[in-house]
Amino acid sequence: MKKRLIVATRNAHKVEEIRAILSTFEVLDLSVLTDPPEVEETGTTFLENATLKAVAISDLTDALVLSDDSGLEVDSLGGDPGVYSSRYAGGDGNDSLNNEKLLREMDGNCERTARFRCVIVLARGGNVLADFSGAVEGRILQQKQGGGGFGYDPLFAPEGYEMSFAELGEEIKNSMSHRSRALEGVVDWLSRRFPLG
């Protein structure tokens, strides 16, 4: 029987990616819980925010809970939008407004190196079990390219590619993404901790 994991996120794209990468697990979303709280991300680091989400949700269930806090760091913007990636264009912002704001901030700037970072926390019964991180280096494109993925994918070309994550597609993104690199650590940790699945 597959091991069950609840992903503590309201971002359906993250659930989809995590499910595709953790194919040997039964990956469930928050809909399996009754009225899960909206966890406020008051931390100043990915680890703090991932911990807040994992602890709050794992308090409500006996199942293993996995949270993901992630974002884009642009070198010439001093690491912004960073932990504020989902709220870059304001609290009511969305992917499209966030991308427009990033393009405005980068207008005329030829220093375009950036990375996606992901921190994952595993928790059970309100206690943190372990944390993992992953990153992928790349650069910010001059305009949006491609219709796949989510968030800043249309503006991010990973190192060694001219195409954006949104053009490269799910399989290539998942073979090198910040999220898949953090999840490698999760798989390794879980297989040692629960060798029989």
**Active-site positions?**
69
- Enumerate long-range contacts of 74-77, CB under 8 Å, 24 or more apart: 74/102, 74/105, 74/106, 74/112, 74/113, 74/114, 74/140, 75/111, 75/113, 75/114, 76/106, 76/109, 76/111, 76/112, 76/113, 77/105, 77/106
At 186, which amino acid appears? V
Segment interacting with ligand ITT, rule: CB under 6 A, options 58-66, 121-129, 145-153, 180-188: 145-153
Compute the least distance from the CB of residue 11 to ligand ITT, in Å: 4
Contact between 152 and ligand ITT by CB under 6 A: the answer reads yes
* Token pair 């709280």 in the structure block, residue: 37
Segment interacting with ligand ITT, rule: CB under 6 A, options 57-65, 68-76, 103-111, 185-193: 68-76
Integer-rounded Cα radius of gyration of the chain? 17
Size of residue set near ligand ITT by CB under 6 A: 21
Compute the least distance from the CB of residue 144 to ligand ITT, in Å: 12
> CA–CA separation, 165 vs 150, rounded Å?
9
Compute the least distance from the CB of residue 87 to ligand ITT, in Å: 8
> CA–CA separation, 121 vs 57, rounded Å?
12
At 84, which amino acid appears? Y
User: 17-36 mask for ligand ITT (x: CB under 6 A)?
Assistant: --------------------
Segment interacting with ligand ITT, rule: CB under 6 A, options 18-26, 62-70, 125-133, 138-146: 62-70
Contact between 51 and ligand ITT by CB under 6 A: the answer reads no
Binding-site member from 148, 150, 163, 187 for ligand ITT (CB under 6 A): 150
Segment interacting with ligand ITT, rule: CB under 6 A, options 21-29, 102-110, 150-158, 180-188: 150-158
Q: Which one, of 72, 67, 59, lies nearest residue 33 by Cα?
A: 59
Q: What are the tokens at 88?
A: 């870059």
Contact between 116 and ligand ITT by CB under 6 A: the answer reads yes
At 79, which amino acid appears? G
| Contact residues for ligand ITT, defined by CB under 6 A | 9-11, 14, 41, 68-72, 85-86, 98, 116, 149-153, 177, 179
